[in-house]
Structure 1
């Protein structure tokens, strides 16, 4: 969140009638704008598919391939997501911007190598032809690099460039993919998607190269942070399993049907899934504004008193004020999330109930389950992000483990016992995560002094050098190719 707080507080200080709306728009563009624009491109592909001359089975194969590529790329990128974010924040805070580009190149290379092996092997059993295989693998690689690039772009707040790139990419998709498919090329839409996302990637990398000091040497120094923050590294993959794993289970449940090879779809479960997911993004935007505008000044003052040796009474007062503001803002977030979830569910039901007969069987009931689940997850995620804000990586890892296990386990159980209630697995997992994260935050509040002063020193004694050695060996290997 480095950098955005100053801009948000400046907007709020304007005290204009639209200052709050500007703050929400600013935050949305930075944090969820790229994701929303990516969903827009996927929707555009679906629209174009309805007006082309390719057969229905080929269209379904293309759309399923894009869905799988997005899920797989997000999964691979989650291995480094929190680690890279922490390394980037530390580098900027310590005025080590010359290390940023080297970490970007190194993390991108590792993600591509790891992802190509895993997803490439999966595609071998997807029943695809040679061209379809290569295009699906190319799309996966491009998307993986885009998710990695977004972390570096949000730090420099290049949201206008990101937005323009996605708009131009939509034009590329229409011109190339649409025309190729219109003339009967089965992989035309997939080719158009690769070119569109490839253009976005080029624009993103260009902005990163322009902003950070030139350093083209691969440095795996960010891997050394796994030794420093051993509990932080698995949080990303575990949250991915909890947040997206239930979709994968649904794709191979009795509700699904085969497209080709290992490619499957679950129309009843996927229907409206993206709309329900918007509730998570709404919760994230609300949290960022609440934390950066109202909570951070008190958070900063609290830790400043520790660093400057404030007296005991001033420290106690600062801590009480900090936690009071935090609880107030989290309370506001919960009410906003409840209202947003209720409005979305009511609106979708009013809109879709008259046409329920034409929808996939049971899709509206499953959509209501998912809306409620993602609404609850938005609240749970706010508590989890607060734990990370206080550097409680151990607590975040434990909660992520419970969440991933429950989400996958309960969804898998319901998939075979009660498919009509499939979304309740993720719903129950999110509900339990919310209560556990809230309790953990309460415990943290009671032991704030120990957590701030005692825990870091205690963890420092347990630091290992496993990943430091791995980083050193990787740098030696890639140095031979420079």
Structure 2
């Protein structure tokens, strides 16, 4: 994200409040676009639907939880490739092999689409919903997955305005489509599930607008088309297996508490298709929204100011700097990193503290009871720790500490899994506590691990053995070449 972060810094450098407000707005959309879109769009859609009492609560729930499931499981599915593909694209950019970026995009798009179809098929077989509704779910699911893919490649783009406007435009279309459906509900409600189907279709169109805007931005950024070597990144799964495991475990850790709680007190099933827990799902949803400042500051601060010092250090290492120059560059880099981490933590702690303090007033005004408020306070503190864990996790990957990132993700997943199972019989009063404990324990471990690793950074930089091509890498590389060959044969 540093490419976008540097350009956003120009807006922050201006002293006017409007420029700073614009910078934070674009940073929010670029760093957490899908998350903000689903939050804002569903919030507005709920408000619109609420103005039409004739729309049943069952129709509302079906639509909302269908969208939620599409986002949740697309995130899990994409985590199987995210870090590995990011490393591959980063290496291409570092080596200035820009003509190989679009083939990698095509390969990742095809692989993600096949995986998404494999996830959708069991749902389609089990769910009693109409086939047409399930086909629209597939369309939305594929679209959201492709948005994740595009965002990975657009991390190197500099056209943050187009990216931001793409998310805004897509959200606006989704809300407008919902309003049209509600205004014409009598004409549209000709059979069961027809209104949720139209609402879902309108939301899908909105996400499609975002998708095509991002794709247009990608074409402008990397105009060189080339279809050879689309699956070359497969070799990186064998070359960097810890990246693969770390990405999967971290994303599983985020949702494992939710999946287990779906079978606890207060959980229920929507239309025989979606397990939900109204209290916990809503609490974790709003809790993650509270760590938006951490995500924004990571891009506009840590990944810009810190990155400059990081680059200076490795320039000294790679271009024959003396030991004194290398140590001096490291000292500057460590100072800036420490300052920025403290800055992010202080701001997020203050923001979360204010939200937790006023949660009672806010949610009571919205008509929610004390059980939910208490649960939200616990999950909000957990989200605070999880935000810091995410930053430490990414900084580890900056320094190629893949083992540290894997250990942190495994610890996060293991604690969340075990404690959620142990706390589940305790009912509503214990829900959210496992996520909070797991997040804090893992972030503390990650902080100690990163500190220890950076103390011996010279050793890891100069003495770390080069990766040797193993059996798994050779087989995956061979699979990639076979898929590329098959793709060429089909094109003929």
Decide: shared fold, TM above 0.5. Answer: yes
Task: Determine whether 1:299 maps to 2:310.
Answer: yes
Equivalent-residue separation in structure 1 for 2:443 and 2:236 (angstroms):
28
- Is 1:349 the counterpart of 2:360? The answer is yes
Alignment of 1:309-348 (within 5 A): 309-348=320-359
- Between the aligned partners of 1:320 and 1:175, the Cα distance in structure 2 is 53
Check the 8 A contact 1:99/1:215 in 2, yes or no.
yes
Q: How far apart are 1:285 and its partner, in Å?
A: 1.7
> Conserved in 2, the CA contact under 8 Å of 1:268 and 1:361?
no
Matches within 5 A, 1:190-269: 190-212=200-222, 213-217=224-228, 219-269=230-280
**CA apart distance, 1:244:** 2.4
**CA deviation after TM superposition for structure 1 residue 440, in Å:** 0.6
Cα offset, 1:153, TM superposition: 2.5
CA distance in 2, matches of 1:114, 1:229: 21
1:173 Cα deviation after fit: 2.9
Contact 1:107/1:220 (<8 A) preserved: yes
Look up the match of 1:443. 452
Aligned equivalents of 1:359, 1:322: Cα separation in 2: 47
Partner of 1:158: 159
In 2, the alpha carbon distance for the partners of 1:2 and 1:87 equals 17
Residue equivalent to 2:120: 119
List aligned pairs for 1:338-417, cutoff 5 A: 338-353=349-364, 358-359=367-368, 362-417=371-426
C-alpha displacement of 1:239: 1.2
SS of residue matched to 2:96: coil
After superposition, the Cα gap between the structure-2 partners of 1:47 and 1:436, relative to the gap in structure 1 and judged at 3 Å, is: same
1:78 corresponds in structure 2 to: 79
| Contact 1:72 1:119 (C-alpha < 8 Å) held by counterparts | no
Aligned partner of residue 157 in structure 1, secondary structure: coil
Q: Matched residues in 2 for 1:306 and 1:217: separation?
A: 34
Q: Take 2:215 and 2:455, find their aligned partners in 1: how far apart are those partners? A: 44
How far is the alpha carbon of 1:377 from its aligned partner?
1.0
Counterparts of 1:381 and 1:55 in 2: how far apart (Å)?
39
Q: How does 1:258-297 map to 2 (within 5 A)?
A: 258-297=269-308
Secondary structure of residue in 2 paired with 1:219 = coil
Deviations 1:365-387 (A, max 9, x none): 11111111001111122211111
2:431 maps to what in 1?
Answer: 422
8 Å CA contact 1:49–1:189 kept in 2: the answer is: no
- Measure, in 1, the Cα distance between the counterparts of 2:34 and 2:139: 20
CA distance in structure 1 between the partners assigned to 2:245 and 2:311 by the alignment: 27
1:477 is aligned to 486
Contact 1:337 1:379 in 2 (8 A): no
Inter-partner Cα distance in structure 2 for 1:425 and 1:475: 45
1:21 deviates by 5.3
Is the Cα contact below 8 Å between 1:242 and 1:404 reproduced in 2?
yes
Which residue is equivalent to 1:49? 49
Aligned to 2:440: 431
Query: Once the 2 structures are TM-superposed, how far is the Cα of residue 260 of structure 1 from its aligned partner?
Result: 2.0
Structure 1 residue 59: Cα displacement: 2.5
CA contact 1:8–1:293 (8 Å) conserved in 2: no
> Residues 177 and 189 of structure 1 are in contact (CA less than 8 Å); yes or no, is this contact kept in structure 2?
yes
Once the two structures are TM-superposed, the CA of residue 41 in structure 1 deviates from its matched residue by 2.1
Instruction: Quote the Cα distance in structure 1 between the aligned partners of 2:458 and 2:214.
Output: 42
The answer to whether the 8 A contact 2:171-2:207 is kept is no
- Check conservation: 1:45, 1:63, Cα contact below 8 A: no
Shift of the 316–6 alpha-carbon distance from structure 1 to 2, 3 Å rule, reads same
Structure 1, 274-283 or 298-307: larger mean CA deviation: 274-283
Partner of 1:459: 467
> C-alpha separation between the residues in 2 aligned to 1:228 and 1:166?
35
Q: Deviations over 1:231-257 (max 9, x none)?
A: 112222211111222222223322211
- Please provide the CA RMSD for this pair: 2.4
Contact conserved, 1:9 with 1:292, CA < 8 A, in 2? no
Q: Distance in 1 between matches of 2:457 and 2:138?
A: 47
- Is the deviation greater in 425-434 or in 38-47? 38-47
1:34, CA displacement in angstroms? 4.1
Q: What are structure 1's unaligned runs of at least 5 residues?
A: none
Partner of 1:258: helix, strand, or coil?
A: strand
Distance, in Å, in 2 between the alignment partners of 1:38 and 1:351 is 21
Q: Is the 8 A contact 2:2 2:303 kept in 1?
A: no
- Report the counterpart of residue 7 of structure 2 in structure 1: 7
TM normalised by structure 1 equals: 0.92
SS of 1:264's partner is strand
- CA deviations 1:44-64 (Å, max 9, x no partner) are 332333345443323221221
Q: Partners in 2 of 1:254 and 1:166 — Cα distance?
A: 37
Deviates further, 221-230 or 48-57: 48-57
Q: TM-score, normalised by structure 2?
A: 0.90
